[in-house]
Structure 1
Amino acid sequence: MKRKKETKKNLSRRDFIKTTAVGVGATALAGLGAKEAKAIPITEVPRWDREADVVIVGCGASGSVAAIEAYDAGAEVLMLEKTPNFGGAGTLSGGAVYGCATFLQRRAGIEDSPDEMFKYVMAIGGGVSDPNMLRVWCENCGALVDWLASLGVQFTGPNYSGEELLYANIAKPAPRGHSTVGRGQALLQVLESQVDLRGIEYLTETPASELIVRSGAATEVVGVRSKTKGLYIKARTGVVLAAGGYATDAAALKKYTMFSLPLLVNPMMKGFTADDGDGIAMAQDVGCDFYGIDTMAPRVLVLVGYPTPGYAYYVGFSVGGVIWVNEAGQRFMDEKTFYGKAPFVLKTQTNAHAFQIFDQAAIAGGGAKVGPFSNDLSKELAIGSIKTAATIRALASVIGVNADNLDATVSTWNTNAAQGKDPQFGRTLVAPINTPPFYAADVRNYAGYNYGGVRITPDCRVVKALGSVIHRLYAAGSTTGGVLGQVHPGAGTMISKAMTFGRIAGQNAALEAPWS
Structure 2
Amino acid sequence: MDELVVDVVIVGFGAAGACAAIEAADAGAEVLVLDRFSGGGASVVSGGVVYAGGGTAQQLDAGVEDTPDAMLDYLRQETGGVVSEETLRRFCTSSRDMITWLEGNGVPFEGSLCPYKTSYPSDDHYLYYSGSEAAGGFRDIAKPAPRGHRVKGPGTSGKLLFSRLAAAVRHRGVRVLPQAHARTLTVDDQGAVTGVVVDTLRDAPRWARAAHRHLARYAAKPGIYVPALRKALHRRAAKLERRYGRELRISARRGVILAAGGFIANREMVREHAPDHRGGLALGTSADDGSGIRLGVEAGGATAGLERISAWRFLSPPAAFLGGILVDADGGRIIDESRYGAAIGERMIAAHGGRGWLLVDEKIVAEARRDGRSQSQWFQWLQLRYLLRRGRVTGATVDEVARKAGVAPDGLLAAVEAYRAGPDPTGKPAEFARPLDAPPYSLIDVSVKPNLGYPCPMLTLGGLVVDEDTGAVRGADGRSIPGLYAAGRTAVGICSRSYVSGLSLADCVFSGRRAGINSALAQGVLDKNENVF
* Common topology (TM > 0.5): yes
Instruction: Tell whether 2:406 aligns with 1:400.
Output: yes
Evaluate the alpha carbon distance shift between residue 330 and residue 266 of structure 1 in structure 2; reply closer, same or farther with a 3 A threshold.
Answer: closer
2:519 aligned to 503, 509, 512, which one?
509
Q: How far apart in 2 are the matches of 1:105 and 1:126?
A: 28
**C-alpha distance in structure 2 between counterparts of 1:313 and 1:233, whole Å:** 49
| Alignment partner, residue 248 of structure 2 | 232
Tell me the residue number matched to 1:267.
281
Is structure 2 residue 152 aligned with structure 1 residue 181?
yes
2:271 equivalent in structure 1: 254
**Is this contact kept in 1: 2:55–2:67, CA < 8 A?**
no
Deviation for aligned residue 1:177: 3.3
Q: Report if aligned partners of 1:321, 1:362 keep a CA contact under 8 Å in 2.
A: no
Shift of 1:389: 5.3
Structure 1 counterpart of 2:271, which letter? Answer: K
Q: 1:390 to 1:175 in 2, by over 3 A?
A: closer
Q: Is the 8 A contact 1:395 1:440 kept in 2?
A: no
Per-residue deviation, residues 218-274 of structure 1 (Å, max 9, x unmatched): 3333223338433223123321100111233322223233xxx6113651627x232
Aligned mates of 1:192, 1:134 — CA distance in 2: 27
Corresponding residue for residue 506 of structure 2: 496
Which of 282, 286, 296 in structure 2 is aligned with 1:283?
Answer: 296
- The letter for the 2-side match of 1:95 is G
1:251–1:436 distance in 2 versus 1, CA, 3 Å:
same
Query: Residue 115 of structure 1: CA displacement?
Result: 5.0
Number of equivalenced pairs: 442
Quote the Cα distance in structure 2 between the aligned partners of 1:211 and 1:448: 29
Is residue 370 of structure 2 the alignment partner of residue 365 of structure 1?
A: yes
Among residues 58, 69, 75, which one is paired with 2:12 in the alignment? Answer: 58
- Alpha-carbon spacing, 1:210–1:334, altered in 2? closer, same or farther (3 Å): same
**Cα offset for 1:357?**
4.1
For 2:131, the aligned partner's letter is G
- Give the superposition deviation at 1:193: 1.8
Equivalent residue letter for 1:179 = R
Among residues 235, 242, 248, which one is paired with 2:259 in the alignment?
Answer: 242
Quote the offset at 1:423 in angstroms.
4.9
Supply the distance in 2 between the matched residues of 1:69 and 1:129 (Cα, whole angstroms). 22
Is it true that 1:292 corresponds to 2:263 in the alignment?
no
Distance 2:489 2:477 in 1: 22
Matched letter for residue 61 of structure 1:
A
Is contact 2:265–2:282 with CA below 8 Å preserved after alignment? no
Structure with greater helix share of residues: 2
TM-score (norm 1): 0.73
Counterpart of 2:497 in structure 1: which amino acid? Q
Report the Cα distance in structure 2 between the residues aligned to 1:164 and 1:322, rounded to whole angstroms: 19
Instruction: Report the Cα distance in structure 2 between the residues aligned to 1:320 and 1:478, rounded to whole angstroms.
Output: 30
Partner of 1:468 in structure 2? Answer: 479
1:222 partnered with 2:225: no
Distance 1:104 1:438, change over 3 A: same
Gaps of 5+ in 1: 1-46, 301-311
> Percent identity among equivalent residues?
29
Alpha-carbon contact 2:18-2:165 (below 8 Å) kept: yes
Q: Residue 75 of structure 1: CA displacement?
A: 2.5
Equivalent position SS for 2:165: helix
Q: CA deviation at 1:121?
A: 2.0
1:199–1:113 CA distance, 2 compared to 1 (3 A): same
- Residue pair 2:280, 2:448 contacting (<8 A) in 1 also: no
Please name the residue that 1:448 is paired with. 458
Give the alignment of 1:290-329 within 5 angstroms. 290-300=303-313, 312-319=314-321, 322-329=324-331
Residues 169, 396 of structure 1: alpha-carbon distance in 2 compared, 3 angstrom cutoff: closer
Separation (CA, whole Å) in 1 of partners of 2:345 and 2:320: 21
**2:489 aligned to 472, 475, 478, which one?**
478
Check 1:248–1:394 CA distance in 2 against 1; reply closer, same or farther (3 A cut): farther
2:209 paired with 1:201: no
C-alpha displacement of 1:172: 6.2
2:30 maps to which residue?
A: 76
Residue 470 of structure 1 aligns to a residue whose secondary structure is strand
Map residues 49-198 of structure 1 onto 2, 5 A cutoff: 49-83=3-37, 85-101=38-54, 103-104=56-57, 107=60, 114-157=68-111, 160-164=129-133, 166-167=137-138, 175-182=146-153, 183-198=157-172
Tell me how far apart the structure 1 counterparts of residues 497 and 444 of structure 2 sit (CA, whole Å).
30
CA RMSD of aligned residues (A): 3.7
Aligned to 2:210: none
Could you tell me which runs of 5 or more consecutive residues in structure 2 were left unpaired when the two chains were aligned.
112-126, 201-240, 450-455, 525-533
Shift of 1:278: 1.3
Q: SS of the residue aligned with 1:192?
A: helix
Contact 1:137–1:501 (Cα < 8 Å) also in 2: no
192-201 or 64-73: bigger deviation: 192-201
CA offset digits 1:189-227 (Å, max 9, x no partner): 2112212323433233322121122223x3333223338
How far off its partner does 1:498 sit?
Answer: 1.0
Of the three residues 184, 199, 202, the one matched with 1:210 is 184
**Distance (whole Å) between structure 2 residues aligned to residue 172 and residue 154 of structure 1:** 27
**Partner-residue secondary structure (3-state), 2:458:** strand
Q: Work out whether residues 208 and 225 of structure 1, in 8 Å CA contact, stay in contact via their aligned partners in 2.
A: yes
What is the CA–CA distance in structure 2 between the aligned matches of 1:299 and 1:106, rounded to whole Å?
Answer: 26
| Structure 2 residue matching 1:262: 3-state secondary structure | coil
